[in-house]
Amino acid sequence: MLSLPTLRRELPPTLRLALPLVLAELGWMSMVIVDTMMVGRLPNSAESIGAVSISSSIFIVFAFFGEGLLIGLDTLVSQAFGAGHREDCHRSLINGIYLSLAFTPILTIPVWYLPLYFGRMGVDAKVAVLAVPYMRTLAVGMLPLLLYFAVRRTLQGMNIVRPIAFALVTANLINFVGNYVFIFGKFGFPAFGVTGSGWATAVSRTYLALVLVGYLLWYDHRHRTDLLKTPVEIDIQRIRRLIALGLPAALQLTAEVSVFALVASLIARLGAVPLASHQIALNTVSFTYMVPLGISSAAAVRVGQAIGRHDPMGARDAGNTAILLGASFMSCMSVALLVFPRLVARFYTHDPTVIRNAVILLAAGAAFQLFDGIQTVATGALRGSGDTRTPMLCHFSAYWLMGLPLGAWLCFRRHWGALGLWVGLSLSLILIGILLLIFWRRRIRHLIHDS
């Protein structure tokens, strides 16, 4: 348990690191929300929201797999920085960039060609015809997105987080303007509709990468960190270490986001209205999830730096403080989703049928908020300690072996519709939250015992 003096000592540095990262994660999710809200103003609102839903869900599977491969930078950079080895941080970044370049075509090709099979997946024809070009515009932004992930992970591992928040906030402004111009055809541009939203997102993600790379070069010039003197040859051993740490994290993220992508595909079979309602509810719970996700990154950095200093007690206190912070916030969000669901749905659409269905799904989302906060931050704390396999196993088992089969049974056999799938996901997240909290406490006990 956390004592009050420990909480007073740990909370300020955790908040200083977490708040810019939370702002960055909220900025990341805001792009998807803005895309959904603005295409929801098109005449074919349900079909347009559905197209963004199915495309974004599938694209995120591949994008997050790429991010997961780079998550090993959290561990390597934060532990090297905690030990005072800045050059080692730079070496990890260089090889993380090589990893990004190598995986870009591997991840982009399926994003480009998968939309051709939307019809066979049972996606509504009116949704599919809008989703295919939208998803292909997202594919254009894959390389800059992976470069952004690599530079961001390195910066936050060295406690440089404000530029990350700045990049996401300003990228949202670009995305908003781009949506307005490209969707509706303003300032002499043709009206691209849903596809215009994809172009705005691709441009914004390119901007993200350019801002962080530019800042890193400026920081190196001003503080003379010798980044440009870092050896540029490929370090096979370091890349293997990145993959060893990152692959379980990539599989964990893929298991998590792909189950939501599959759920979107299953709901697409129910029609445009259930799919639009699902996207509204998913956007909302994804937005609340961004706060513990930012705290999770801070937990990974602070736990990793403490271990780099050979301070397992400090790692324990840092991880526990972050978990408490994430759980407290998500408890408040659970109440908010139960009290204001109709208001939330109205931000996206004026269609009363879509709103009514979204309210029901938001109630299911409220049930897992607390446990989602716990599991997200515990995953970051475990990652900082060097354990990325446990979250992978927990997510895969709970989602794919329990939650998805149960949800599909409730949806199609018991005729609960989209709510049945959401009930299955809710039970999965509750289980994952409990398990990862137990594993984090066991992990930190072993680290303290071995020190």
The residues spanned by each domain of the chain are 4-450
Query: Other CB atoms closer than 10 Å to residue 154's CB: what's the count?
Result: 27
Where do we find the tokens 């869900």? 57
Interatomic CA distance for residues 188 and 354, integer angstroms: 33
The model's confidence at residue 1, banded by pLDDT at 50, 70 and 90, is low
pLDDT for position 336: 94
Interatomic CA distance for residues 20 and 386, integer angstroms: 23
Phi and psi for 416 in degrees, rounded to 5? -85, -10
Phi and psi for 50 in degrees, rounded to 5? -60, -40
For residues 322-340, average pLDDT: 95
Residue 33 clears pLDDT 90, i.e. is over it: no
Q: Which residue has the higher pLDDT, 315 or 124?
A: 315
Cβ-Cβ contacts under 8 Å for 27 (sequence gap 6 or more): 165, 168, 169, 171, 172
- Tell me if 365 sits within 8 A of 281, measured CB to CB: yes
DSSP for 214-275, written as a single string = HHHHHHHHHHT--GGGS--S--HHHHHHHHHHHHHHHHHHHHHHHHHHHHHHHHHTT-HHHH
pLDDT for position 52: 83
pLDDT digits (tens, 9 = 90+) for 231-241: 889 999 999 99
Q: Which residue has the higher pLDDT, 250 or 217?
A: 217
Where do we find the tokens 């609960």? 416
Interatomic CA distance for residues 31 and 438, integer angstroms: 34
Residue 387 clears pLDDT 80, i.e. is over it: yes
pLDDT for position 173: 92
Percent of the residues in the chain that have a pLDDT greater than 90, as a whole number:
46
Least confident of 266-270, 380-384, 440-444: 266-270
Interatomic CA distance for residues 198 and 200, integer angstroms: 5
Return the amino acid letter for 73.
L
Q: Which residue has the higher pLDDT, 382 or 40?
A: 382
Summary mean pLDDT of the chain: 89
Return the amino acid letter for 309.
R
At 200, which helix (H) or strand (E)?
helix 194-223
The model's confidence at residue 426, banded by pLDDT at 50, 70 and 90, is very high
Phi and psi based region of residue 255 (left: phi greater than 0; alpha: psi -120 to 50; beta: remaining): alpha
Exposed/middle/buried for 177, CB within 10 Å: 0-12, 13-18, 19+? middle
Query: Other CB atoms closer than 10 Å to residue 331's CB: what's the count?
Result: 12
**How far, in whole angstroms, is CA 312 from its chain's centroid?**
28
pLDDT for position 60: 83
Interatomic CA distance for residues 405 and 40, integer angstroms: 31
Helix residue ranges, H only, 114-193: 125-140, 142-157, 162-184
Percent of the residues in the chain that have a pLDDT greater than 70, as a whole number:
100
Q: Interhelix angle for 272-308 vs 236-268, to 10°?
A: 160
Q: Can you give the pTM of this predicted structure?
A: 0.78
| 3-class secondary-structure state, position 1 | coil
Q: Which two tokens stand for residue 156?
A: 């936050």
Q: Interhelix angle for 352-367 vs 312-339, to 10°?
A: 150
Residue 117 clears pLDDT 90, i.e. is over it: no
Reported as half-sphere exposure (CB side, CA atoms, 13 A), residue 149 has a value of 28
pLDDT for position 154: 92
Residue 109 clears pLDDT 90, i.e. is over it: yes
- Tell me if 166 sits within 8 A of 104, measured CB to CB: no
Residue 309 clears pLDDT 80, i.e. is over it: yes
Interatomic CA distance for residues 288 and 259, integer angstroms: 19
Interatomic CA distance for residues 422 and 415, integer angstroms: 13
b/e burial code for range 198-229 (CB count within 10 A of at least 16 → b):
bbbbbbbbbbbbebbbebbeebbeeeebebee
The model's confidence at residue 413, banded by pLDDT at 50, 70 and 90, is very high
pLDDT digits (tens, 9 = 90+) for 61-98: 898 899 888 988 988 898 898 888 888 989 999 999 99
pLDDT for position 339: 93
- Tell me if 414 sits within 8 A of 275, measured CB to CB: no
pLDDT digits (tens, 9 = 90+) for 198-218: 899 999 999 999 999 999 999
The model's confidence at residue 372, banded by pLDDT at 50, 70 and 90, is very high
- Tell me if 68 sits within 8 A of 257, measured CB to CB: no
